Amino acid sequence: MTLPVHLVPDLAGIVAGTEVTVEGDEAHHAVAVRRLRVGEQVVLTDGAGTAVQGPVASTGKRVFVVTVEWVRTDDAPAPAVVVVQAIPKGDRGELAVEVLTEVGVAEIVPWAASRSVAVWKGERATKSLARWRATAREAAKQARRWWFPEVSDLAATADVVELVAGADLAVVLHEEASLPLASVEITNTGRIVVVVGPEGGLTPEEVEAFTAAGAVPVRLGAEVLRTSTAGVAAVAALLSRTSRWG
């Protein structure tokens, strides 16, 4: 079984034999909820590719200390997958973020699509974005990731068009598309952007804008997926054809 992973702000300059102190909510959850004990092996990561492993040297109410046995830094997984996720209603947004994080995406972009039922404005936008980011952080730890995904600020359609234009490959999930996702040529480098529309579907204007920017409208299959699960299905299908999952 893989070891539990905890997030720390910084691992710069850490070498084998040194100690790393984990404090605050991260330590409280480990000690009070997980019942972390002295001598237990754990992995600490900065969420940017560097991780250390070692035994717990001591614990306190909201603190624990790890004696580092080894340090490793990994390159970011390639290709990087960016998912533009139209805002779903209720808690389906957090579900989408959770499964997308688990499957290994590099970035999740909440998108205010024309037909999105949920609307993020003011305090609601701030709280919703904070929940998405907290969900991504916890899911990344659960998935034992060393590179944590970024959850971007809320994007407008113009922002998504810009993302699509800068991608090495961009696909738009569209139930009326004639081209199956399985027939799209995949890149093993660079950035892949996947655009997931809202429950009400994409507008013709959105599809036209994304296509003009270089995106390929694709369909997954005969079944119609919810917006909260369509993205993870598409990303899994893409990654299965890359060196990441090869």
pTM: 0.94
CB 99 within 8 A of CB 83: no
Domain locations along the chain: 5-73, 80-239
Is the pLDDT score of 1 beyond 80? no
Instruction: Write down the CATH superfamily of domain 5-73.
Output: Hypothetical PUA domain-like; domain 1 (2.40.240.20)
Question: What's the mean per-residue pLDDT of the chain?
Answer: 95
So what's the pLDDT on residue 214?
A: 98
* CA 76 – CA 244 distance, rounded (Å): 11
Is the pLDDT score of 220 beyond 80? yes
Within 10 angstroms of residue 146's Cβ, the number of other Cβ atoms is 19
Assign a CATH topology to domain 80-239. Answer: Alpha/beta knot (3.40.1280)
Structure confidence by residue, pLDDT tens digits, 60-70: 999 999 999 99
Within 10 angstroms of residue 7's Cβ, the number of other Cβ atoms is 16
87 to 95, 147, 155, 205, 233: CA distances (angstroms): 11, 24, 10, 18, 17
Residue type, 40: E
So what's the pLDDT on residue 157?
A: 97
So what's the pLDDT on residue 43?
A: 97
* CA 202 – CA 56 distance, rounded (Å): 51
- Which tokens go with 111? 């998108």
Structure confidence by residue, pLDDT tens digits, 128-171: 999 999 999 999 999 999 999 999 999 999 999 999 999 999 99
| Average confidence (pLDDT) over 49-53 | 98
